[in-house]
Amino acid sequence: MDDGELLFLGAARQADLVRSGKVTARALTEAALRRTERLDPRLGAFRAVLAGPALAEADARDAARAAGEGDLPLLGVPVAVKDELDVAGEVTTFGGAAHRVPAARDSEAVRRLRAAGAVIIGKTAMPEYGQWPFTESAAHGYARNPWDTARTTGGSSGGSAAAVAAGLAGAALGGDGGGSLRIPAACCGLFALKPQRGRVSTAPHPHLWYALGTIGPLTRSVLDSALLYDVLDGPAPGDRWAARPAPTSFVRAASTEPGRLRIGWSATPAVPGVRPHPEHVAALRRTVTALRELGHDVREVDPRYPDTTAAFLPQFCGGVRAEARTADRPELLERRTRQTLRLARLVPEAAVERAVRAGERMAVRANRVFDRADLLLTPTLARRPRRVGALDGAGLAGAMLRSLPMIAYTALWNVTGNPAASLPAGFGTDGLPLAVQLVGRQHDEATLLQVCAQLEAARPWAHRIPGLAL
Q: Average per-residue pLDDT in the chain?
A: 97
Q: Are 383 and 406 in contact (CB under 8 A)?
A: yes
| Identified catalytic residue from 160, 180, 225, 266 | 180
Q: Are 214 and 201 in contact (CB under 8 A)?
A: no
Residue 443: what pLDDT? 98
Active site residue 180: yes
Per residue in 177-192, pLDDT (tens digit) is 999 999 999 999 999 9
Residue 70: what pLDDT? 87
Cis (ω within 30 of 0) for the bond into 156? yes
d(CA 83, CA 44): 13
d(CA 118, CA 169): 11
Lowest mean pLDDT among 155-164, 431-440, 453-462: 453-462
Provide the CA 157 distance to its chain's centre, in angstroms. 6
pLDDT for residue 469 is more than 50? no
Q: Are 133 and 406 in contact (CB under 8 A)?
A: yes
d(CA 366, CA 370): 9
Residues 6+ apart with CB under 8 A from 252: none
pLDDT for residue 464 is more than 90? no
d(CA 5, CA 19): 18
CB contact burial 266-292 (16+ within 10 A = b; e otherwise): bbbbbbeebebbebbebbbeebbebbe
Residues 6+ apart with CB under 8 A from 455: 287, 290, 291, 294, 423
Q: How confident is the model at residue 463 (pLDDT cuts 50, 70, 90)?
A: low
Active site residue 82: yes
| Identified catalytic residue from 137, 156, 157, 160 | 156
d(CA 353, CA 453): 37
Sign of CA dihedral 275, 278, 284, 285: positive
Q: Which of 398, 145, 438 is nearest to 265 (CA)?
A: 438
The half-sphere exposure of 19 on its side-chain side, counting CA atoms within 13 A, is: 17
| pTM for this model (two decimals) | 0.98
Residue 5: what pLDDT? 87
Q: Is 281 helix (H, G, I), strand (E, B) or coil?
A: helix
Q: Which of 114, 153, 125 is nearest to 25 (CA)?
A: 114
Fold of the CATH domain 3-458: Amidase signature (AS) enzymes (3.90.1300)
Residues 6+ apart with CB under 8 A from 260: 295, 296, 297
Strand partners, 433: 427
Sign of CA dihedral 253, 186, 276, 368: positive
Average pLDDT over residues 273-281: 97
Per residue in 51-94, pLDDT (tens digit) is 999 999 999 999 999 999 989 999 999 999 999 999 999 999 99
| Eight-class DSSP state of 83 | T
Q: How confident is the model at residue 465 (pLDDT cuts 50, 70, 90)?
A: low
Q: What does residue 283 show for φ and ψ, rounded to 5 degrees?
A: -65, -40
